[in-house]
Amino acid sequence: MANDTGFEIFLGVVPGLEPALCAELTALGFDKPRPEPGGVTIVGGWADVWRANLEVRGASRILARFDSFRVVHLSQLDKRAHRFDWKGLLRPDMPVKVEASCRRSKIYHAGAAAERVAKAIEAVAGTPTSDEAGLCVRVRIDDNLCTLSVDTSGELLHRRGFKAEVSKAPIRETMASLFLREAGFDGAEPVLDPMCGSGTFVIEAAEIAAGLLPGRSRNFAFELLAGFDRAAWRSLKSARTETAAARAAATFGAARYRGSDRDPGAVRMSRTNAERAGLAGVTDFDVVPVKELARPDGPPGLVIVNPPYGARIGNKKALYAVYGAFGEAMRMHFSGWRVALVTTDPALVRATRLPFGQPGRPVDHGGLKVRLHLTGPLR
């Protein structure tokens, strides 16, 4: 592969969760992660790209940035694009699509920029371009600085490869993992989601505790690049899987990961998704209305919930009663447990009458701004 060491690797994340992703990368041993709007940048080689796709739970996609230069007109872009060693990066038998964006730049026509780079790729490497290709080269021109990247992930990374069904307005696995991190979950305590939907929080928590790597069951776009070493990838994947499992075994005990919902269909979806993820043995899902919540047996842990907000699902006026019933159940039965609540509306938070601290940063979620609200152990 071209330029095997020392290039920038950009890990995209939902805006608002950059610090959480930075903390995850630090914990995983990536060197000097640097947050920037919409993601975190590290410097490394292709082995780091592979490992990041395999291990990082919070990133939405991972881009390898392989060239950067100033441009003010299309002829400059054309010359620089023809100079790049596309043969070292792309295969002649594997089509690629080219996507471009232009912002605050002399080159303002994204379609023209994409066309120039696509022609350079075809001329230098003999690689055909197609809008339907599974491999994507990205051209970003921002304030006259052009950055060329290749999307090494392919499908967005929240698509872990096991979820067969989803509920309405689901939270993505990548967001769920970072919210769990911000709530202080370390894999060694019970977790309960009493409005579980398709089971995302519960399954993500169980995966973290069991040391199951998020990318274990899917393929990645980097496997389609020139010079990809499948044997080295299998070796790294095997070694990292063993390391994660050993690390988890040191803390994983009898903790259970539970979800409930008033909707039998949601509970059925959650059970199916947990079984496909290989977690049926450590997860429980039951049909339970919020007002009937009971404390599980065992030590206290974390209750984490992403209730309806009233913006897309549910009548907002009726939701005050739902949030109120949730808060009452927590106060009555969950002494010693911490509560994490994701929602858009401070008035709904107040309806719980729970002792939340200052909310987290606004986070984009399907066009809405949500915040994470946390309590300490309830008394």
| Domains defined for the chain, CATH in brackets | 7-151 (3.30.2130.30), 173-210+255-374 (3.40.50.150)
At residue 167, the pLDDT reads 61
State the Rg of the chain over Cα.
Answer: 23
Q: How many Å apart are CA 145 and CA 272, to the nearest integer?
A: 47
Q: How many Å apart are CA 61 and CA 156, to the nearest integer?
A: 6
At residue 3, the pLDDT reads 55
Question: At 333, is the secondary structure helix, strand, or coil?
Answer: helix
Q: Which of 104, 203, 92, 218 is nearest to 161 (CA)?
A: 218
DSSP calls for 112-127: HHHHHHHHHHHHHH--
At residue 94, the pLDDT reads 97
State both tokens at 315: 């009548």
At residue 248, the pLDDT reads 78
Question: At 283, is the secondary structure helix, strand, or coil?
Answer: strand
At residue 245, the pLDDT reads 81
CA 371 to chain centre: 16
Q: Which of 9, 5, 2 is nearest to 65 (CA)?
A: 9
State both tokens at 141: 């021109």
- Average pLDDT per 10 consecutive residues for the chain, totaling 379 residues: 77 97 97 96 97 98 96 96 96 97 95 97 97 96 97 96 72 96 94 96 95 94 96 95 82 79 95 92 95 94 93 70 96 98 96 97 92 98
At residue 22, the pLDDT reads 98
State both tokens at 281: 């043995």
